[in-house]
Amino acid sequence: MSTPIVIAVTEDSPADHAGVLTGDLIFQINNETPRDVIQYQLLVDEPEVVMDIERKGERHVFTITKTTGAPLGIEVDSPLFDQVRTCDNHCEFCFIYQLPRGMRRSLSIKDDDYRLSFLYGNFTTLTRFTEADFERVITEGLSPLYVSIHAINQNKRVEMLRNRRGGTSLRWLRLLLDHGIEVHGQIVVCPGINDGLWLEDTIAGIADQFPEIKSLAVVPLGVSAHTSEPRMRPHTIKEAEQVIDIVEEWQELFFEISDSRVVYAADEYYLLVSRPFPEAQTYGSFPMYEDGIGMARAFEHDFLGGENQVSHHRPGFFSSVDGAPAQGYRAPRTGEVPVKLIEKKNQPITVLTGSFGASVIKPLLKKIEREDVEVLPVENNFFGGNIGVTGLLVGEDLKRVLEEQPKDRRYLLPDVCLSGGRFLDDLTPADLPRSIEIIPTDGHSLRQAIEVGI
């Protein structure tokens, strides 16, 4: 067990009035030692909270009174106070195995922890899920959860996860659904392995065995130049077309049965085959937006001034967990790194993005007739392979491209490339040879930056 550290105290909050300070170590709350921020939130929900805190080597007890359910006003350093449950699968398609050498150690940690699935929308395979975990999920109502399925056939799932428990662990999915837990599923499609008839079999099996599943994302395999797995390769255009055809056929079947399309193909498939994206209403409430499902339509809707902005976050409990640190796609993007902003707003504009993002943005610029705005797709040499998403752009590739660009332009970069102000290769915007303006990664923000500046 690690001890949670207070990293922020909200001004004028109950914790602030009681004298809790940044840097304090929380040992116990109401005589209990919390193992994660979920349990922490339940403990601090009481009208009287007794905290056993260590400060500069000395122990102190703080009694904090507040309205039941009111935020305590403390943010802690980690969502898990015990050890993160790491993944014991060895999937050929795992992107962590495809990272270049020398990257930050934190990027190579594989989690398969249902708590992080609940808190942040991380996907879990359920191969390390236990009876105790199930009891806690049901008792505390930890919903929704996000489950990697990949294949419904037991032998095929064992083959894909390279884990003998892969064939039986989906029994937990059935039990979770039986007890009213909302579940969103994912299938990573690997060409020649779980596509074609296997994909048909998996979706049919889900419809038959797990009809209550809320949504199912079908996403393509990402293959970097650093993979050592000989079977892993990108889709051909014909294979990508087949995936779309299978998904769209099953969408109609699901819709007839449940009035919901349930299964969705990632935007990347439509880009690969140059096929128009489904209409925005096809995606419902965009439940799998962060999995690349419906991003293009949501971006278009916001860019062209749709009546209401599309929600860009998965639904879930996270927003109401008092004290949970922001991580993953909810983490602060720009951090404390200073970013130079351009004062002359009448300069021509270049939008920096990945190859897939460029395919979405270019047609939108034509619709608003802004010839002074160009899109510059940045090839991802760092990862190589078929990696074309903007979120995996690194400073090294941006630096290479920007060195050849003129100085008298505004350069806009979506913040999805950054985490805490740093790119994946640890460079910062300050390391780039041109001043850039970082904007939120949504259509409304891009349109605003183009028309009225930052």
pLDDT (0 to 100) of residue 83: 85
**Is the pLDDT score of 315 beyond 90?**
no
**Is the pLDDT score of 110 beyond 70?**
yes
365: left (phi over 0), alpha (psi -120 to 50) or beta: alpha
CATH number of 301's domain: 3.20.20
Question: What mean pLDDT comes out for the span 440-444?
Answer: 91
Total of domains in the chain: 3
Same domain, 177 and 281: yes
Same domain, 21 and 128: no
Same domain, 129 and 68: no
Q: Which secondary structure element, helix H or strand E, spans residue 49, and what is its range?
A: strand 48-55
Which parts of 259-394 fold into alpha helices (H)? 267-272, 295-303, 355-367
144 upstream amide cis, omega within 30 of 0: yes
CA distance 364 to 348: 17
Among 19-28, 215-224, 334-343, 414-423, where is mean pLDDT lowest? 334-343
Same domain, 43 and 114: no
pLDDT in tens, 137-184: 999 999 999 999 999 999 999 999 999 999 999 999 999 999 999 999
Tell whether 131 is covered by a domain: yes
Same domain, 313 and 336: no
Asked whether the beta carbons of 437 and 375 are under 8 A apart, the reply is: no
Tell whether 327 is covered by a domain: no
Same domain, 363 and 437: yes
> What residues make up the domain containing 22?
6-76
pLDDT in tens, 49-80: 999 999 999 999 999 999 887 889 999 988 99
pLDDT (0 to 100) of residue 331: 57
Residues present in the chain in total? 454
Same domain, 281 and 344: no
Same domain, 172 and 240: yes
Q: Are strands 58-65 and 48-55 parallel, antiparallel or unpaired?
A: antiparallel
pLDDT in tens, 184-217: 999 999 999 999 999 999 999 999 999 999 999 9
pLDDT (0 to 100) of residue 50: 96
